[in-house]
């Protein structure tokens, strides 16, 4: 679920009615004010093995990197900031764009197209994720779904979910698949 959906459901469960626009704005703004402290002190915060090596390597190889997440845009940047990963992602699709993960993935692809000044063929876009929902979002956007068995789902579960490729670990190679935009 995206942050706004979680906010609505939580509000309704606790308060007993659907939040008004003003009430939801209050929930989201208070969440964002508190989030930096929570992320900074989280003992469960971890960066997937290989990320520190892979992201600079992809950037140096002329790949344009984006992020898709159910988090609202500000929350995504707060979460990435702790590991100094913001600098690798020049665009994204966020929970603040849509409650539908396929739609927010399409929005990310559109943003990449804007940056590059050309319309990207979504069938050449790799969407990397670690859950069946990530694979479904990639396919809903017409992109290639690459599953990484980082602990959320196994390689077999990702393949059963329809992953075009499934990796045991992030640095595993995808022979002949990934080429920079030309």
Q: Do residues 29 and 19 lie in contact, with contact meaning Cβ atoms separated by under 8 Å?
A: no
For residue 163, give the 3-state DSSP assignment. coil
- Looking from the CA of 162 toward its CB, the CA atoms found within 13 Å total 14
* pLDDT above 60: residue 51: yes
Distance CA 146, CA 39 (A): 27
Q: Among 37-46, 115-124, 163-172, which is the least confidently predicted range? A: 163-172
* pLDDT above 60: residue 78: yes
pLDDT, averaged across the chain: 93
Give the pLDDT band of residue 182 (cuts 50, 70, 90).
very low
Q: Do residues 127 and 138 lie in contact, with contact meaning Cβ atoms separated by under 8 Å?
A: yes
Whole-structure pTM value? 0.89
User: Can you give the pLDDT at residue 171?
Assistant: 81
The burial class, CB within 10 Å (0-12 / 13-18 / 19+), for 6 is middle
The values of phi and psi at residue 98, to 5°, are -170, 150
For residue 83, give the 3-state DSSP assignment. coil
Rounded average pLDDT over 22-41? 97
Question: Over pLDDT 90: what percentage of the chain?
Answer: 88
The DSSP H or E segment spanning 1 is none
Q: For 18, which DSSP code?
A: P
């Amino acid at each position: 679920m995206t942050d706004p959906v979680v906010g609505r459901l939580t509000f309704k469960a606790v308060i007993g009615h659907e939040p008004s626009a003003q009430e939801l704005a209050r929930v989201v703004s208070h969440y964002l004010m508190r989030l930096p402290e929570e992320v900074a002190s989280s003992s469960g915060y971890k960066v997937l093995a290989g990320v520190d090596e892979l992201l600079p390597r992809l950037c140096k190889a002329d790949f344009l990197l984006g992020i898709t997440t159910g988090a609202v845009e500000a929350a995504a940047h707060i979460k990435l900031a702790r590991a100094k990963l913001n600098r690798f992602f020049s665009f994204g699709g966020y929970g603040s764009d849509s409650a539908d993960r396929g739609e927010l993935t399409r929005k990310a692809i559109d943003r990449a197209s804007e940056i590059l000044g050309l319309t990207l063929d979504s069938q050449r876009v790799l969407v990397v994720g670690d859950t069946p929902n990530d694979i479904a979002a990639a396919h809903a956007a017409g992109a290639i779904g690459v599953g990484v068995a980082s602990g959320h789902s196994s390689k077999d579960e990702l393949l059963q979910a329809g992953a075009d490729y499934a990796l045991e670990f992030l640095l595993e190679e995808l022979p002949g698949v990934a080429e920079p935009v030309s």
